[in-house]
Structure formats: structure tokens, C-alpha cells
Amino acid sequence: MSLPAPLPPIEFHSRRSSVYGRRGMVASSQPLATAAGLEILLHGGNAADAAVAVAAALNVTEPTSTGIGGDMFALFYEAKAGQVTALNGSGRAPAGLTRERILRECLSPALPAYHPFTVTIPGACAGWCDLLDRHGTLSMAEVLAPAISLAEGGFPVAPTTSYFWQAGANRQLKTAPNGHELTIEGRGPNPGEIFRNPGLARTFRAVAEGGKKAYYEGPIAEAIVEVLQKAGGLMTAADLAEHASTWEEPASVTFGDYRIYECPPNGQGITALLAFNLLEGFGLAGLHPLSVERLHLEIEALRLAFADARWYVSDPEFNNIPLAELLSKDYAAERRKLIDPKRASLNQKRGTPVASSDTVYFCVVDEFGNACSFINSNYMGFGTGIVPKGWGFSLQNRGHNFSLDPEHPNRLEPKKRPYHTIIPGLITRADGSLFGPFGVMGGFMQPQGHLQVGLALLTDGLDPQSALDLPRFCIDIDNGEQGGAVLLEEGIPWRAAAELAAMGHPVKPVSGWGRATFGRGQIILRDSASGRLTGGSDPRADGLAMTL
């Protein structure tokens, strides 16, 4: 077996310009996936059609992050109606999975990351189908054609993807049932090496012909159940057959002359909205985005936002989430009083708002002004790494985000959706016109990225590429509500880092491949008068924005 060639440390010395166009634009983390979306736009498809094509192509070209064995969320802006709809394509825990069963069999108070118990029902396929049914104009067969061609014919693997593919091959794919199907003789492909995935092409052909029923019933479903039950999991055919996406009212807040939209819980998008509300009361416009004063306020706002989100974000079908109260300006005004402009507060606690309680992001805007902000994920790279034999995709481990605390709103329960990290974002102007879809992928970095990129656009007036190029910080919130380290990306001035440390922030510089911590984003903005589109793609990934 040949060994993979060593990859050099990742560096960022190049500069990109924002991309301009009028007839449609796609921004994703993989050039071939971006091209797939443009192909659909060229064939008369709209933003929804192109988004599903990109999602499928990303499953082929970046299985290290996403796939039809994972979940998805989307925000869709319909230009004619001037309305935003939210699609929740996340799955639920199997009916037979209980906290007691996990504690008895795993012999640990924490759920093992790659255990079959962490596999929730994959919601991506149903979400793709439901997005097309409501907003699309083309058939699933037409939309999946580019991805099928890539999977059958093969594609050259991009450098950043290669790095994380090799890591996944040495981690969960190495021991997971059928994980070798996503490797080349047990290893991840090298940069530029051709990879073919006939099993995934077979999956997409089945869905193209039979829709979501072909995935949740029949041979694919049987393979999912068989591999999980052999590995000790509890998912059944009935669990898969009963799955359904949900269309929901998006959550939103105003910020100056704009309205920022996120999907509501069980997604963590309200974390970003809580932080935007808190920061609206400070005069950020006069502060440089990398100044110590600005960074401190953003960090403190996010600590408060996470303190609330880590408690309140859960499945609304199981808990009464006080969403309106959490996102009210009055609640933000009270919580804002907890921010000391001169000192870090590392142990912020959740508030009481009721007076009487690894991933791909991409976006598409079509020539008609429709927009789709879309995110799809396996979680932790390849998820569990478990592959239904012969079908070419791995199964997610989203259940790892459940709490095993019986008193927590996000506690594990049968048929429940877990706290979800993946979040698409979208912004409109005060008149309801589209400003643009945006997002930053990457676990608990995502709302932090939404805030930093959103402020760069709305407060600093940066163009999309400049907003994405700007160095970021990331609060390590693995300890829940407690104050984790503040990771600072190379490029943040050392003086600012030193002053943050003096204020009490536990700062830690990050460079090289570790910059993946800061997420990977995409942005497309639309000028309402001329229809001009302006797009950018994160330099921390392999992708780009392209226009017709």
C-alpha cells in the first residue's frame, strides 16, 4: 500500500478579489461543486435546483464534511413574494434509543463520538427532495446529473480536502464498518489524485428515479439498518420510513437597517442573533474590526449568547423554547449590562427571558433574485465513518450533541432531534429586498463566524471576499457555559492579542492547518437596483465563487 505524500503547512499569502456578475452566482468550498450549480442555472434551473446540485456534488468531492448520510438546513428567499422560508432537514434519534441504554452499554457518562448510537436518521435526502418540491423547477434526475457524472467518472481531489480525507482515513474510516469504501487501499487520496465513487453514483441514481422513498425504504434503507445493527446500533426500518423534514418560520432580528435570518432551534442560529442584539447597543462602527475594543465586545457578546443557546437550543417538539423573549430587544438590553468593556467575564450563566424559559456551507443566487442559503453536514468529518455496504456514503454522528443530563432540555429522548450546530444565514434590507445569503461552516464556530462576517458586511461595509479574508477568533466552548480559550487566528495584531490577555481572556494563537478551526464561509450579495451580484469564498478552503 503506497503512503500518502506529506502535505506542506497551510499558508495564506494570496489575495482574491470579490466576483461580480448578474445572471446568477454560486459560492461553495469546491470548484467542481460550484461548477455543478452553474450548470444547473445554465439549464434553466433556479436557486433551489442549483443548491441541491451543489449539495450532491459536494457529497462526491468533499465527503470529509458532508453527504447524503447527514443532515441539512436551508433558508430560501423567494424574490416574487419577498419572503424567507426555513427548511429543517435534520434527523431524529431512533425510537429505541434511550439514555439508560447508552449508560448501560457504553459504560460512560459521555457518548463515544463514533459509536452507532450517535447515528440519527439522515435527513439530507428528504431535505433535498422537499426543497425541490416547494421551490425548485427541475426534476431530481436533472439536478443530480452533475454529481452522478463526478462520482462515476472520478475527479481530482483538492488539496485541503485531501488533508482532512487522510486524517479521516486514519481515524474513523480505519475501523468503521465498510469505511474502506471511502479510501484508496485504506488511505485518503493525495492532492490531485482521481477518486471514483460508483456506490454513491448508485445511490444518487436510485434517488433520481424514486425520490426520497428510494432512500428511506427499500435497498438503501435496508443497508443502513443492517450495518448499524451489526455494529450494535438500534435504528430500524420503521425509524427511516417515518422520517420527515419540517418547514418552519425562520428566526430573525433587526440590526440597523437590516434583518438577519437564521433557522430556529434545534439549530444554534439563535446564538448569532442573540450576539447581534447585544452588540447593537454598542458603537461598533467607529472601532476597527481587529482592535482590542471591538474583539473584546464580540467575545463577551458571544459568551453570553452561548450561555443561553447551550441551554435553550433543543427540539421544540419536546420543549417550550421562549424564542420571542430570547430575541427581544428588552432581553438584550438586560443581558448587555453584564458586559464589562474593560474586563473579560469567563463564566457567564444563562438568562431567564420569560417574566411569568465538520460541514459544508454554500449559497446560490439566481438571475431572478431568488437565493438559497444551504448547509449540509456529516459532523466530525466523515461522521461515524460507518458506510452502508455498497452505497458510497458515511453515516453522521449528530446524536453526539445530545446531553445525557436528564434535567437538560437537550437530553436524549427517543425520536428527538439533537442540538444542531449547522446554520445557514440570510440578510434582507429594511424594504424586504435581498441583501444576500451568507454562512460560515465549522461546528460551534458557526455562529461566531456569522457574527464576525456579518459585522464586517453590515458595520464595516466590506465586500464579501474581504469580509471572509479577515482573520477571526473562536471561543472554545467545549466546556458548555464555562469560559474556554479564545483562539486567535494568525493575522490578528499581536498587540491586540496581548491586550486581550491582559483583560483576562485566555488567548491562544493558531496558525497552519489549525486555521480550519475558524470555519469556511461563502457570501453572495445582491444589489436591488441593478441586480448586480458580488460573491466571495473562504481562503481557508478549496472553493470559489463563480458567475454566469
235 assigned to some structural domain = yes
269 assigned to some structural domain = no
Total number of domains constituting the chain: 1
User: Percent of the chain, pLDDT > 70?
Assistant: 95
Tally of residues, the chain: 548
User: Percent of the chain, pLDDT > 90?
Assistant: 86
Which one has a higher pLDDT value, 538 or 479? 538
- pLDDT tens column, 265-306: 999 999 999 999 999 999 898 899 999 999 999 999 999 999
- HSE of 361, CA atoms in CB hemisphere, 13 A: 31
Q: Pick from 132, 103, 129, 133: which is nearest to 115 by CA?
A: 103
The mean pLDDT value for 388-403 works out to 96
The mean pLDDT value for 478-507 works out to 86
- Tell me if residue 243 falls in helix, strand or coil: coil
420 assigned to some structural domain = no
Distance CA 175, CA 169 (A): 9
Distance CA 136, CA 366 (A): 12
With 90 as the cut, is the pLDDT of residue 211 above it? yes
Cβ burial of 244 (10 Å; 0-12, 13-18, 19+) is middle
Read off the amino acid at residue 165: W
CA distances to 171, 201, 462 from 386, in Å: 12, 18, 42
Residue with cell 454513491: 200
Angle at 261 between CA 255 and CA 267, to 5 degrees: 125
The model's confidence at residue 480, banded by pLDDT at 50, 70 and 90, is very low
The string of DSSP codes covering 205-228 is HHHHHHTTHHHHSSHHHHHHHHHH
The mean pLDDT value for 422-438 works out to 97
Per-residue DSSP letter, 44: T
**pLDDT value of residue 13:** 57
- Tell me if residue 431 falls in helix, strand or coil: coil
With 60 as the cut, is the pLDDT of residue 93 above it? yes
Read off the amino acid at residue 250: P
**In this structure, are residues 195 and 184 in contact, taking their beta carbons and an 8 Å threshold?**
yes
152 assigned to some structural domain = yes
- Tell me if residue 465 falls in helix, strand or coil: helix
- Tell me if residue 513 falls in helix, strand or coil: helix
- pLDDT tens column, 331-379: 999 999 999 999 998 878 877 564 434 688 999 999 999 999 999 999 9
486 assigned to some structural domain = no
In which order are the strands placed within the sheet that holds 486-489? 473-475, 486-489, 507-510
Read off the amino acid at residue 443: G
436 assigned to some structural domain = no
55 assigned to some structural domain = yes
Which residues are annotated as catalytic?
A: 359
State how far Cα 276 lies from the chain centre.
19
Domain extent, residue 393, equals 24-247+360-401
The three cell numbers of residue 433 are 429586498
**pLDDT value of residue 392:** 98
- Tell me if residue 88 falls in helix, strand or coil: strand
The mean pLDDT value for 144-149 works out to 98
12 assigned to some structural domain = no
Q: What is the 3-state secondary structure (H, E, C) of 114-180?
A: CCHHHCCCCCHHHHHHHHHHHHCCCCHHHHHHHHHHHHHHCEECCHHHHHHHHHHHCCHHHHCCCHH
